Structure 1
Amino acid sequence: MALHRKKSQATKCNRFLISITVFGSAGPIRFIVSEEELVAAVIQTALKSYAREERLPVLGTNLNNFMLYCPGPETEALSPWDTIGSFGVRNFMLCKKPDAGNATKENKLPAISRKSSGSWKSWFHKSTSPKISSH
């Protein structure tokens, strides 16, 4: 009996909660995934959840138009064929792919227009802070 229980635990796939922030949206999308799930499947699930919740801006459902990023100093798009559990993180950012005419490299984070210097991370933290700025 103990062997049976041990075997079922060994074949069980680890699942965990991830949080995906969609660039330009109000808040993250959260759902549970298997660590063996491909990045492409995670993008597709995120787009379906986003549409089901009727969030704005409207994104569409073509997963080939989007890239998923891990937070970190060297931000590059994740390969759609990698497993989501291989990155060791639970928070991701989903962005639309840049237009072919404007992109210098496909796998780099698209440029974010900004008035002051800083990264998309600082912009993100400023946009989610509870402070209300008056202009």
Structure 2
Amino acid sequence: MLLYKQKKNQSAKGNRLLISITVLGSAGPIRFVVNEEELVAAVIDTALKSYAREGRLPVLGSDLNDFLLYCPSAGSDALSPWETIGSLGARNFMLCKKPKTEKIEDDGRPTEAIPRKGSGNWKAWINKSLNLKISSH
């Protein structure tokens, strides 16, 4: 009963939004309702849980710190985890894994982290996919 009252009060605070989150490499977007005042970090967490519950592939993991949320209509920068999801007025987002870095040691000294090849952003992945489709025709 207490949980029900809390949820009811939360929905009274702000507007609720139906959002779509596309995961790179997955068959289709995940859709769910969020409060517009919810933080991006919480939305990423909800998306990962929903993705896993649906048994989607590829398996992503559950650490929200390993992911970035993009709004394709707002530019190429990832959203800040402390930003509210409704701040951009957008409903469609893209979830990507953060690029992994590998440390290379030279003479026993750790050097600067170097990003792995092929760990580009979502725009590079889309362009690559489109080029494959065009060249196969």
The TM-score with structure 1 as length reference comes to 0.70
Match for residue 43 of structure 1?
44
- Distance in 1 between the 2:28 and 2:128 partners? 14
**Structure 2: gaps spanning 5 or more residues:** 1-8, 103-113
Counterpart secondary structure, 2:81: coil
Percent sequence identity over aligned pairs:
65
Q: Cα 1:73–1:63, aligned 2, differ >3 Å: closer, same or farther? A: closer
Counterpart secondary structure, 1:18: strand
Which deviates further from its counterpart, 32-41 or 72-81? 72-81
Structure with greater strand percent: 2
- Distance in 1 between the 2:125 and 2:17 partners? 26
Question: Aligned Cα RMSD in Å?
Answer: 3.1
Q: CA shift at 1:100, angstroms?
A: 2.2
Aligned residue runs from structure 1 range 113-128, under 5 A? 119-122=124-127, 126=130
Structure with greater helix percent: 2
Which deviates further from its counterpart, 65-74 or 54-63? 65-74
Match for residue 111 of structure 1?
120
Counterpart AA for 2:77: E
Q: CA shift at 1:112, angstroms?
A: 5.5
Q: Cα 1:18–1:123, aligned 2, differ >3 Å: closer, same or farther? A: farther
Q: CA shift at 1:120, angstroms?
A: 4.1
Match for residue 55 of structure 1?
56
Q: CA shift at 1:97, angstroms?
A: 0.4
Counterpart AA for 1:69: Y
Q: Is the 8 A contact 2:74 2:88 kept in 1?
A: no
Match for residue 84 of structure 1?
85
